[in-house]
Structures are given as C-alpha cells and as structure tokens.
Structure 1
Amino acid sequence: MAEKPQPVRVLYCGVCGLPAEYCEFGPDFEKCKPWLVQNAPDLYPDLLKDANANEADKVSDQLQSTSIAVGTASSGGSSTSKPEEVKRLPGGKIKKKERQEVIIEKVVRNKRKSITTVKGLELFGVKLSDASKKLGKKFATGASVVKGPTEKEQIDVQGDISYDIVEFITETWPDVPEAAIFFIEDGKKVPAA
C-alpha cells in the first residue's frame, strides 16, 4: 500500500519574504546573506565557504548599525515631515501607505450619457452607502456603490455632476479638504482647487 505524501515545508526568508532558495533572485540578496548563513546554511554552501569570521562580524555589525539607525530615526519624532509608511509584501514588493485623496472621473457612454465616479471618500471616514444616498438626493439622480476595476468600492452617479460636486463634498463632509480632491481629465490627474 502506498504511503501518504507528506506536505512540503517551505522556509521563508526573514528579510525579503521569498522562499529561502529564491533569495538570490530577490530585490536585495546582499541583505539576505547574513540571515541565510544563520538560518539556512545548507541551501547556500558557498556563502559559508566565503564568509570567514571577520566578514561575518562585519555583516552582523552592519545589521546592528542599520537596526540602531532605523530605531533612532523612528523614535526621533522631531522631524517635520512624516516619512511614508512602507510595508513589505511577499516576494519583496513594497506597499506604500495609500494617499488620502478623492478622485472624480466622468465616463461617457452611448455618446451622450455619462457617469460620474467618485473614488476615495472612504479614506476620510465617509460611509459610501450614506454618501451615495446624499449624492443621489442632491443631484436628483441614481447613485450606487459599486466595485471598480481595482476591486475597490466607488460611487457611480448617473449624469455629469462634476460642475457642482466639489462644493457639495466639502460642505457635506468637512473632513475632506478641497486640496485633496482631483479630477481625471484626458487621463491626467488635475487638482480641483
């Protein structure tokens, strides 16, 4: 009788997030080397041969100095501009914190009918279902919350309401500054102010 196959255990790099055997193809193999020497020496035997005691000490000193520098930079608090928060995703990709901005775009369909889409209101703490009801009542048209092409929710309002929507948004939701509202015109982002 055949044995039941066991699941494969994968060791992921603590630095870049890739499986350890793929670190050399990742975004920064040099930063991964100390971690690999310590946690997966059998995967890269060349690293063990090349790394003598002095080089290992030098690499660990670099790691400690970078972690100290990062710790002092984050605890400083005296800087006037706040750096953007960076999050590493699996595969080494970097995800930046999403900007708080409202984007308004007019989409024409059937040559004369148009839809105005409003994206980003939820970033200011606005509940989209309430916002769509208020927009529908104000402009006497249909408005609904739909998933956009990027799988994020947006508000679709029937008709071209771009002429008066900025004033309505800033009056109805004071948390949304006029400087954070942008129009998409000819594929370019244009400030509303």
Structure 2
Amino acid sequence: MAEKPEAVKVLYCGVCGLPAEYCEFGPEFEKCKPWLIQNAPDVYPDLIKESGGNEVDKVSDQMQSTSISAGGSSTSQPEEVKRLPGGKVKKKDKKEVIIEKVVRNKRKCITTVKGLELFGVKLSDASKKLGKKFATGASVVKGPTEKEQIDVQGDIAYDIVDFITDTWADVPETSIFFIEDGKKVPAA
C-alpha cells in the first residue's frame, strides 16, 4: 500500500488572516510586517535586513505590551475587525431603514418597511402606529431573508418618511432609503 502524503501545515498571519506567504499581496502588508518578522522570519528574510535587526526587539516589546494590556481589564481596546476568508474586511452593517413599494394585482400596493428594529423601535408598536396614522392594515411579517419587516397596505412610501422621522427621533432622515427599480435611493 502506498503511504498517505503528509498534510501541509500553513502558517496564517495573525493580522490579515492570509497565509504568511501571501501577506505582501494583502490589503495591510505594512501592518503585517511586525508580525511576520516575529513569527515567520524565514518567509520574508528581506524584512529583517531592512529593519537592521532592531525591528525584532521592537516587535517583541510591542507584542508583549499588547498581550499584557489585553490580559488586564483595559478600557481603551481597539475594535476587532471582522475578516472574511481571504483577508477581506467585512463592512459593518449600517443602520438604515429601507422602504419598498410592492405592486400586486395591478392596482393594489403594499409598502414594506425594513430596518426599524436597528434603531431600537419595537416593530409591533410601530405597525400599530402606522396603521392608525394611515388608516390601513399594517402587520409585522417575516420577509424573504427571515428578518421581520412591517407590511402596510397602500402606497404610502413618500408620506411614511416624515412620519418615521417625527415619531422616532432616533431615526435620522439620512438613513432612510427607497428601493426604486431595484436600486437603493436616499429619501432625503
């Protein structure tokens, strides 16, 4: 029987998440250099020559100081960046309210409101207020992405913006968007 080949062990960068050999092609090579000098000196020997050897001492001091501060209860900790496979930085989810008008049966419309819960608005209370204000039926339903949204009967897309900003002061008008022809358009 043939022997099984041994698994290849890959060293991943602690900064960008890419394999150490590919850090130079990643988005943050300058930030990766200190980590590479300390943990993978054989991968980039030119980095050690560039720094003249002094960088290794600086990096080790820096790494120790960050591990000490992380171990203690430090209040000034930088936010951890969420990374996707391949080292790409995941964008933070923006707080935005999306209003979309859906036409059904030629003349009937439903206006959907998504994202109000991101501003601390309770959707059941919001649907009641919308139903009373516009004298229509309004309900909280699960949308196609399994997130809850408010469906309001009728075409009230443009009137609803003023009502949202007046009723809930936490929702700025700059964070309200319409979906028109498949494109996101700011309401302001």
Aligned 1:80-95 pairs, distance under 5 A: 87-90=81-84, 91-95=86-90
Give yes or no for contact 1:10–1:19 (8 Å, CA) kept in 2: yes
Provide the residue aligned with 1:165 in structure 2: 160
Distance 2:147 2:53 in 1: 46
Closer, same or farther in 2 for the Cα pair 1:179/1:51, shift >3 Å? closer
Distance 1:49 1:174 in 2: 56
List per-residue Cα deviations over 1:91-142 (Å, max 9, x = no partner): 3322344444322121223433322121221222112233234334443214
Q: How many residues align?
A: 170
Length-normalised TM-score, structure 2: 0.63
Provide the residue aligned with 1:4 in structure 2: none
Structure 2 regions of 5+ residues with no counterpart? 1-6, 63-75
Provide the residue aligned with 1:40 in structure 2: 40
How many percent identity over aligned positions? Answer: 69
Structure 1 regions of 5+ residues with no counterpart? 1-6, 65-74, 76-84
| 1:147, distance to aligned residue in structure 2 (A) | 3.5
Over the residues paired in the alignment, what is the CA RMSD in angstroms? 4.1
Provide the residue aligned with 1:140 in structure 2: 136
Give yes or no for contact 1:146–1:156 (8 Å, CA) kept in 2: no
Length-normalised TM-score, structure 1: 0.62
Closer, same or farther in 2 for the Cα pair 1:18/1:147, shift >3 Å? farther
Distance 1:156 1:86 in 2: 36
Provide the residue aligned with 1:109 in structure 2: 104
Which amino acid letter does the alignment assign opposite residue 143 of structure 1?
S
